[in-house]
Structure 1
Amino acid sequence: MLKIENIDLYYDGIHALKNISLEVNKGEIVTLIGANGAGKTSTLRAISGLQNYKNGSIKFKDIILNKIPPHKIVSFGLSHVPEGRKIFANLSVNENLLLGAYLRKDKKALQDDLYMIFTKFPRLKERKNQQAGTLSGGEQQMLAIGRALMNKPEMLILDEPSMGLAPIVVKEIFNTIVEINKAGTTILLVEQNANIALSIADRAYVLETGKIVLSGNAKDLLNDSTIKSAYLGE
């Protein structure tokens, strides 16, 4: 479904991604793990068209994404939940969700999907007329995921969904990610909490200083001694 081949990405002369190649098959949860500055967010931003890259190609459903603007990429069925959530703080919960569906014309199905989001995240329903900036961190993350789902994506990419959240909220968010995947949405997940990411993923890639240094079955990597010592605190 998604195929990245040999991309190089630079920030102000710094070589942030070095000949990166990876793929995500339909129906999978694939995770990218690595330390801060490894290139995880840069990879996602390249996929979404938010960051230009120098060489190589990115294909989504056999569409070459090189130089396609982000709003067009969204229309292909790819939604991005960014690091830090980036909700519209001065708008209501409901308005944020509707903005996630700005490309859609099917008004009846849109209302059905709003109902689905409120069923999945009951706290958002309780706060649907509340300003999004007044929500807790966990509620804002739920809103960011809900907004992305309003696009009816075939693939959802998530950047650090556990960041700054209490463990009980993290568990709830990750249970929802698994549910979303089981309902048919392919997931590419960037996550600093390697333990929880590997526990729900099918496959994983390990990034270090802009290079993929390891990849494989997520459960195998979860039990790999090198991964345990480097990323799982064991």
Structure 2
Amino acid sequence: MLDIKDLKVSYGAVEALKGISLHVDDGEIVSLIGANGAGKTTTLHTITGLVPAQSGSITFNGHDLLATKSGKIVTLGMAHIPEGRHVFTRMTVQENLEMGAFSLKDQSGVGKGLERAFEYFPRLKERRNQLAGTLSGGEQQMVAMGRALMSNPTTILMDEPSMGLSPLLVKDIFSIITMLHAKGITILLVEQNAKMALSIADRAYVLETGRITMEGDANDLLHDEKVRRAYLGA
């Protein structure tokens, strides 16, 4: 389980997170929604050690993540799919995927990881020798997701997976997220497409200017009048 308590993060004099608390239980999809600048990406970056915390605690299956180096966190079973995909543009699709397996102690698992990635993303198998920088935005998102799977994680943090994609590709990406969940992977999903995020989640949190302002069953929030007005265009 991922458990965050009273987490505060500042960028100089600017308070990005003002004491947030949230938890993700094993096997859940939990969505974190909010406007630009609310602190969603900062939350994920702090979990994975890319941004230091000012105070509070983050534990993952009994491990103190604030005392764990970011390169070690992936070995605990957590993968992070960053906002903007961040593929290695001058490397092939397969080379990008193989980079996701750097933490595996037994490198014989790389082949199995590739099989798993290609099972979820058949299009990547067709383009395995193509430079990642020549792919479409949707295909690059598939590479980022496939790369995360290579470490055989139990938990995946996803940051804006639908950003910049056509509505059809958004549906494809969210279908894959639900497939991963069905396989038993726990997911913390940061997403501006609140309707899609809430429609597939078990629970959700609303983050506004560094504070959790609402939380609860995702379906309840999907039909909450305040959430609908603020995030669903209703």
TM over 0.5: same fold? yes
* Cα distance per residue 1:185-225 (max 9 Å; x no partner): 10000000000000000000000000000000000000000
Q: Which residue of the partner structure matches residue 143 of structure 1? A: 143
Residue number in structure 2 paired with 1:69 = 69
Q: Specify the code of the residue in structure 2 equivalent to 1:132.
A: A
- In the TM superposition, what is the alpha-carbon distance from 1:25 to its structure 2 partner? 0.1
Q: Deviations over 1:126-145 (max 9, x none)?
A: 10001001000000000000
**Distance in 2 separating the partners of 1:67 and 1:52:** 10
Q: Secondary structure at the match of 2:195?
A: helix
Which position in structure 2 is the counterpart of 1:115?
A: 115
Q: What does the per-residue CA deviation read over 1:110-152, in whole Å, with 9 as the maximum and x for residues that have no partner? A: 2122112112101100100010010000000000000000010
Offset at 1:67? 3.4
Structure 1 position 48 matched with structure 2 position 39: no
Partner of 1:105: 105
Is 1:37 matched up with 2:31? Answer: no
Where 1:227 maps in the other structure, the secondary structure is helix
**Residue equivalent to 1:199:** 199
Following the alignment from structure 2 to structure 1, what is the Cα–Cα distance between the partners of residues 186 and 73? 16
The alpha-carbon deviation at position 68 of structure 1 amounts to 1.6
Q: Please give the alpha-carbon distance, in whole angstroms, between the structure 2 residues aligned to 1:107 and 1:10.
A: 39
Match of 1:26 in 2: 26
Counting matched residue pairs gives 234
Point out 4+ residue stretches in structure 1 off by more than 6 angstroms: none
Secondary structure of the 1:31 match is strand
Q: Distance in 2 between matches of 1:62 and 1:135?
A: 39
* Percentage identity across paired residues of the two chains: 56
Cα contact 1:52–1:67 (8 A) shared by 2? no
Aligned mates of 1:118, 1:97 — CA distance in 2: 10
| Offset of residue 12 of structure 1 | 2.1
Is the contact made by 1:33 and 1:192 (CA closer than 8 Å) also made in structure 2? yes
Partner Cα separation in structure 2 for residue 134 and residue 85 of structure 1? 14
- Secondary structure of the corresponding residue to residue 79 of structure 1: strand
Residue 153 of structure 1 aligns with which residue? 153
AA aligned to 1:136 is S
Which secondary structure state, in structure 2, belongs to the residue aligned with residue 66 of structure 1? helix
| 162-171 or 116-125, larger mean C-alpha shift | 116-125
CA distance in 1, matches of 2:13, 2:88: 32
Equivalent in the alignment of 1:90:
90
Counterpart position of 1:187: 187
Distance (whole Å) between structure 1 residues aligned to residue 211 and residue 116 of structure 2: 39
C-alpha distance in 1 between matches for 2:81 and 2:179: 16
Do 2:10 and 2:17's aligned partners in 1 also have CA atoms closer than 8 Å? yes
With normalisation by structure 2, the TM-score equals 0.98
How well do the aligned residues superpose, as a CA RMSD in angstroms? 0.8
Q: CA deviation at 1:177?
A: 0.4
User: Separation in 2 of the partners of 1:129 and 1:213?
Assistant: 46
Deviation at 1:66, TM superposition (A): 1.1
Q: Which residue of 1 aligns with 2:14?
A: 14
Give the Cα–Cα distance (whole angstroms) in 1 for the partners of residues 225 and 90 of structure 2: 46
1:3 aligned counterpart, secondary structure: strand
> Is the 2:113–2:151 contact (alpha carbons within 8 Å) kept by the matching residues of 1?
no
- Structure 2 unpaired stretches of 5+: none
> 3-state SS of the aligned residue for 2:67?
coil
Residue in 2 that maps onto 1:222: 222
